[in-house]
Amino acid sequence: MTHIYFNPWLERYKQPFGAVQEGAMVNVWLSVPEQQNTKVFLVVRKEGSSVGQKIFTMEPATEDRFHFQTIMDQGWGLYFYYFKIVNEAEGHETIQYYGFKGQGGEGRIYGSEREVIPYQLTCYQKSENAPKWYRNAVFYQIFPDRFANGNPNRVINQPKKNSFIYATEEDEPFYIKNKENEIVRWDFFGGNFKGIQDKIPYLQELGITALYLNPIFEASSNHRYDTNDYFKVDSILGTEEEFRSLIAALHTAGIAVVLDGVFSHVGKNSRYFNISGFYGENSGAARDPQSPYRDWFTFNHYPNDYKSWWGVADLPEVRKENPSFQEFIYGDLDSVLSKWTSMGVDGWRLDVADELTDDFIAGIRKNLLSYQEKILIGEVWEDASNKIAYDTRRKYVFGDHLQGVMNYPLRQQILDILKQSRSLQDICEEMIRYQENYPADFYYNQLNNIGTHDTERILTMLDGSVEALDQAWGLMFMMPGIPCIYYGDEAGLTGGKDPDNRKFFPWKSINPRLFKNCQKWIERRKKYDVLKNGQFFPFYSKTQKIFGIIRYSGNDYVIYAINLSDQEQSLNVGELSSPRAYRGEYAVLDRILEGEILAPKGSLFMYDSE
């Protein structure tokens, strides 16, 4: 039995591909060349079930395949499965197991059941249909302090006490720290709402249709992840009326706006904690044991020893299971979420979603369902389908929680491709694994990025290469999901880790080549609907340094291929491979790409409609 085989990425072995909805029918086939005296069992375990694993007998289907069919009627969740093959010949019994090998679709044989790595099957409760505006969007992430100042003579609104103000917008950002490496004086450039509103024509010229704004609420820092008051915008950014004006102007321009929701923690100087007394000598959890906010926090020794986010004293952690805090954030018409959403905000990005309980996220989602056309995405850095945080398997993808996540893994995949730091086969397989594990709508709802405020600038990572950044954008725009540009990437901003990746936008020195390249990809996404909703598979050459992506829907095909070598190459379709391609896709590649010439380090974009 040396040719036992299963691959859930191929229709011959599993239908349908990927995650399935509760109540769906699933078929699996296992190839076993010797059926005589052989029995095959499918071993299935539903995570969280009190029943334990179930063993199902598979039936012979053809001369070399066993088959099992089932209805997913045991509830939504994660199912893990593998195969047990028992052969009895001449009074001797041989048992083998077939399971996941850790990468790719093709599995491997195990000699011991204890060693088997099972396959994952995601069964979701309901599809996460995102608003049409979101699925069609091109996002632009703005770090508000660093984008634009719309005041006359660049005057800064109400500078904060004990803060540092840069002399010019061209200055390099840096942190002023003490011996304990704590930031003791926050630095500001003075970007504000008026500045964003003034630059709407620029955003329109680029092709942007949605903004993701880093936090805007009252805070002590420039990043504003240390919220001081959820019901007020930060005074440096402007007034609430100016924010309303910004929303109205954006909507008039056809641009949606998504806010950053930071609900895991607050600032130590916030009105809720108030360790400094800024909001009154006898108010806040750290100054008044009878404060209505006291139970929001966990004190080890009151008041100076308290639980904080990852041990950062500036960020006291909030108890998300506290009913009062839940009511405050999303529970009623006077809640934080209700105030800003009813003002016209189009959605929320949940900061550090892993730090929020599933019930808390579900409560936010329920609040948003009372409004029309809102989106809820989460900051999750790994596979959201099987993420374990604080010993709890998360419910992000199953319905009524997040509608999508930020696609951080894609950034690393793109860097690995362009820097040739990992095999193209491994990258292709990883891409397909995420597609397999996520419900289809959730997968297409991901917010794709190649850089954010938490990562080094993409141009820096690509050693300043304009051509490589063009290819990075190409790969991001070709992938399923919603593309998001980090402010300034299209202008040529460079920078390493925080704070170097948060420079002020270079309005006097925008790189025209980068801008036009970014604009080109945005125009392509808008022109070709297949880039928004089409099927997807990646491919690579087994002998040439070529990577590509094909998107297709009906008779419409878009293909993008990159030559990673320093030599001109003629495409040989016979050498191309994909973990999940079928004969039809290879036929299309053969018809469109065979013999096409790729320049050294060059790329090829093609559209075809039969």
- Give the CA count within 13 Å in the CB-facing half-sphere of 520: 13
Give me the residue label for tokens 């801008």: 515
Bridge partners (DSSP) of residue 163 are none
Marked catalytic residue, from 128, 226, 314, 379: 379
> Which of 2, 7, 97, 11 is closest to 584 using CA atoms?
11
Burial of residue 247 (CB within 10 Å: 0-12, 13-18, 19+) is: buried
610's tokens: 């039969």
Residue-level length of the chain: 610
Other C-beta atoms closer than 10 Å to the C-beta of 104 total 18
Amino acid at 434: Y
Give the residue among 417, 544, 431 at the shortest CA–CA distance from 481: 431
Q: Which of 128, 145, 169, 351 is catalytic?
A: 351
Max Cα–Cα distance, the chain, nearest Å: 93
Distance in angstroms (rounded) separating the CA atoms of residues 26 and 31: 17
Cα–Cα distance list, 45 to 28, 76, 433 (Å): 16, 13, 20
Pairing of strands 404-407, 447-449: parallel
Cα-trace Rg, the chain: 27
Whether the Cβ atoms of residue 593 and residue 559 lie closer than 8 Å to each other:
yes
Residue 361 has phi, psi (to 5 degrees) of: -65, -40
Is 59 known to be catalytic?
A: no
Residue 392 CB partners (closer than 8 Å, separation 6+): 358
Distance between CA atoms of 336 and 443, rounded to whole angstroms? 29
Helix 408-419 to helix 466-478 angle, to the nearest 10 degrees?
A: 130
CB 113 within 8 A of CB 378: no
Please indicate whether residue 351 is annotated as part of the active site: yes
Q: Which residue has the tokens 């703005």?
A: 142
* Tokens, residue 377: 């995405």
Answer for the pair 452, 584: CB distance below 8 angstroms, yes or no. Answer: no
Beta strands in 125-216 (DSSP E): 139-142, 164-165, 176-177, 183-185, 187-188, 210-213
Q: Which residues are catalytic?
A: 351, 379
